[in-house]
Amino acid sequence: TSNIPEIAPFLCYITVGLPLPISTVLILCVDLGTDMVPAISLAYEEKESDIMDRPPRNAATDRLVNRRLISFAYLQIGVMQALAGFYTYFMVLNDYGYAPRILMQQGLGWDYSSLMCVLDDAGTPLRCGYGCETVEDPGLSEKWAPCQAGCEAPTIGFGNPFTEFTDAGFRGFNSSLGDNATEATCGRSCAWYEANKANPMVVGTPLMTEADVAMFEATCAGVNASMLGFPYSETDGSVNRGQAFGIRKTADPGAFYWWNGQQQYFPNNAYQSNALRYAQTSYFVSIIVVQWADLLIAKTRKLSIFEQGMRNGFMNFGLCFETVLGILLVYLPFLNSVFSTRPLYVLHWFPGVPWSILIFVYDEIRKMLIRQNPGGWLEEHTYWQ
């Protein structure tokens, strides 16, 4: 049954561009870790008390894997498990400020660029992307234009005079610069440099450092600098604010960086990437939680779990094993590094619990109806051996 919650995330990543809900490494942790002992424990389950009252297996129709088993495992329980995983994933990302409505088509660039969003009057993100297409607007160097146009900062290092960052971190908005503050941080272009190089001081505050001046002189003579206002080179891989990778959904004009549930004036890709790691870890945990119910309902074909009992000591150990292994993978720091997991808040273990209860109750009701109506439609189509 865990095949469905393992496959569905990759289908959504490919088809609708959803940031990957679970990593391949965590899928292996499920298949080779948390699922192994519980699966083996079913071999130690006692026979059902009414086993001698049932007719023998029909060798012609009752195969090891038949349509009823496929329907039950994949289309019923498997779908419920996948829904549990997605519900948990969306809830955790929403807690970190990324609402479900802004996630579609963002998967390809999630780990590489900071999300930028356009907000409505209430401050709610409407449309998000990662940058802008090639900009031909001659107003590119106007105040705030590079930030508000949704263009990403250059990626050739802190030494780049055009980026919002220096070796000391974000340039910041120096209040003593007055109206020039945001322009000196976000509006830096070759045109801006040409206009300000004769007077690089405002009320005694430098608009640019000597190192900046040297970099401006060198880079503004580069390829496309006169056309775009920023240098761009296909050979050295430097990317200017006016160009984004084609695989990414572009941000609309007026976009701001979006993280921690609010608009920001500077990118924070580490926050964004770690938020996804928390969500992936919670998806992994939700699979463990729903597998509790899946293991219990697999104990019997017709009898209620309350009649069968919990006398299979190896299965009880299996339930504890997968839970403890999950806890270790989530909370041990060196395992966090190896498996890219994150230490979840305790509350983020619980979104999958209602789905686990739903699976258990659903199957108990199904078995009860089969016992009450032997040979009926439900037994014909859902009873698997």
Average pLDDT over residues 2-25: 93
Average pLDDT over residues 73-98: 94
Per-residue model confidence as pLDDT tens digits over 201-243: 766 677 777 777 887 777 776 655 554 455 443 433 333 443 3
Which helix (H) or strand (E) element contains residue 201? strand 201-202
Q: DSSP assignment of 214-241, as one string?
A: HHHHHHTTSTTHHHHSS---TTT----T
Burial of 301 (0-12, 13-18, 19+ CB in 10 A): middle
CA distances (Å), 93 to each of 73, 157, 337, in order?
28, 29, 20
Report the C-alpha gap between 291 and 357 in whole angstroms. 11
Burial of 169 (0-12, 13-18, 19+ CB in 10 A): exposed
Q: Which of 107-116, 138-147, 268-277, 317-326 has the lowest mean pLDDT?
A: 138-147
Angle between helices 269-297 and 353-372 (to 10 degrees): 20
Where is pLDDT greater, at 295 or 181? Answer: 295
Specify the pLDDT at position 232.
42
Report the C-alpha gap between 295 and 204 in whole angstroms. 72
Per-residue model confidence as pLDDT tens digits over 266-279: 667 788 999 999 99
DSSP 3-state of 52 = helix
Nearest CA among 34, 95, 84 for reference residue 283: 84
pTM of the model: 0.72
Q: Which of 4-13, 290-299, 300-309 has the lowest mean pLDDT?
A: 300-309
**Looking at the predicted structure, is the pLDDT value of residue 23 above 80?**
yes
Average pLDDT over residues 31-48: 86
Q: Which of 28-32, 190-194, 256-260 has the lowest mean pLDDT?
A: 190-194
140's CB contacts (< 8 A; 6+ apart) are 146, 149, 189, 191, 228, 229, 241, 242
**Looking at the predicted structure, is the pLDDT value of residue 16 above 80?**
yes
Cα maximum dimension of the chain: 98
pLDDT band at 149 (very low <50, low <70, confident <90, very high): very low
Specify the pLDDT at position 379.
77
Per-residue model confidence as pLDDT tens digits over 108-134: 878 877 788 878 888 888 888 876 433
Mean pLDDT across the chain, nearest whole number? 77
**Looking at the predicted structure, is the pLDDT value of residue 153 above 70?**
no
**Looking at the predicted structure, is the pLDDT value of residue 375 above 50?**
yes
Per-residue model confidence as pLDDT tens digits over 40-58: 988 888 877 666 566 666 6
Which domains are seen in the chain, by residue range? 3-103+272-382 (1.20.1110.10), 115-267 (no CATH)
**Looking at the predicted structure, is the pLDDT value of residue 155 above 60?**
no
Average pLDDT over residues 353-357: 97
